[in-house]
Structure 1
Amino acid sequence: MAKDFAHPDVVDQYDQHILKLIPGYHLVHQQIAVLLESYLPQRAHILVVGCGTGYELAALLALQSDWTFTATDLSATMLEKAQAKISAMGQAHRVQFIQADVHQLPADAQFDAALLILVAHFIAHTDKTALFQQIYLRLAAGAILLSYDLMQSPRTEDLSALAKLCQQQGLSAIQSQKMLQRLHDDFYVDDSAVYQQRLLDSGFATVSSYSQVLCYQGFLAQKSR
Structure 2
Amino acid sequence: MSEAPIDSALKFDPSRAGEYDRQSRIALAGYDACHELTACMLSSTLGSGAPAQILVAGVGTGQEILSIAPFEPLWHFTAVDPAAPMMEVAKTRLAEANLTERTTLHLGYVEDLPEDARFDAATLIGVLHHLPGDAAKKKILSSLASRLKPGGAFVLAGNCFSYQSHPRLLKAWRQRWIMQGASAEAADAKLAKILAGADPPHSEEAIAELLDEAGFEPPTRFFASLFWGAWLTRKVQ
TM-score by length of 2: 0.88
- Kept in 1: contact 2:9–2:83 (CA 8 A): no
Cα deviation for residue 71 of structure 1 reads: 0.2
What amino acid sits opposite 1:189 in the alignment?
Answer: P
Cα deviation for residue 169 of structure 1 reads: 3.5
- Kept in 1: contact 2:157–2:230 (CA 8 A): yes
Cα deviation for residue 48 of structure 1 reads: 0.6
- Describe how 1:119-134 pairs up with structure 2 within 5 A: 119-125=127-133, 126-134=135-143
2:200 alignment partner in structure 1: 189
Find out whether 1:35 has 2:47 as its counterpart. Answer: no
Structure 2: gaps spanning 5 or more residues: 1-7
Q: Distance in 2 between matches of 1:111 and 1:141?
A: 9
Classify 1:48/1:3 alpha carbon distance in 2 versus 1 (closer, same or farther; 3 Å): closer
2:53 alignment partner in structure 1: 45
2:4 alignment partner in structure 1: none
1:180 alignment partner in structure 2: 191
Quote the RMSD (CA, aligned, Å). Answer: 1.9
Structure 1: gaps spanning 5 or more residues: none
What amino acid sits opposite 2:79 in the alignment?
Answer: A
Q: Distance in 1 between matches of 2:9 and 2:113?
A: 26
Cα deviation for residue 3 of structure 1 reads: 8.8
1:151 alignment partner in structure 2: 160
Find out whether 1:166 has 2:177 as its counterpart. Answer: yes
Q: Secondary structure at the match of 2:69?
A: helix
What amino acid sits opposite 2:57 in the alignment?
Answer: V
Cα deviation for residue 212 of structure 1 reads: 1.1
Q: Distance in 2 between matches of 1:94 and 1:188?
A: 33
- Kept in 2: contact 1:71–1:95 (CA 8 A): yes
CA offsets 1:190-220 (integer angstroms, 9 cap, x no match): 1221122011111112222221111111121
Q: Distance in 1 between matches of 2:9 and 2:107?
A: 19
- Kept in 2: contact 1:48–1:69 (CA 8 A): yes
Q: Secondary structure at the match of 2:70?
A: helix
- Kept in 1: contact 2:212–2:218 (CA 8 A): yes
Cα deviation for residue 100 of structure 1 reads: 1.1
**How many residues in Structure 1 have an aligned counterpart in Structure 2?**
225
TM-score by length of 1: 0.93
1:20 alignment partner in structure 2: 26
Q: Distance in 2 between matches of 1:139 and 1:5?
A: 28
- Kept in 2: contact 1:46–1:68 (CA 8 A): yes
Q: Distance in 2 between matches of 1:217 and 1:174?
A: 27
CA offsets 1:164-185 (integer angstroms, 9 cap, x no match): 1233244432332122212221
Q: Distance in 2 between matches of 1:86 and 1:133?
A: 28
Q: Which runs of 4+ in 1 moved over 4 A?
A: 2-6
Classify 1:54/1:182 alpha carbon distance in 2 versus 1 (closer, same or farther; 3 Å): same
Find out whether 1:70 has 2:78 as its counterpart. Answer: yes
What amino acid sits opposite 1:143 in the alignment?
Answer: G
Q: Distance in 1 between matches of 2:184 and 2:32?
A: 23
Find out whether 1:141 has 2:150 as its counterpart. Answer: yes
Q: Distance in 1 between matches of 2:73 and 2:99?
A: 9
2:233 alignment partner in structure 1: 221
Counterpart among 51, 74, 99 of residue 91 in structure 1: 99
Find out whether 1:108 has 2:116 as its counterpart. Answer: yes
Cα deviation for residue 21 of structure 1 reads: 1.2
% identical equivalent positions: 27
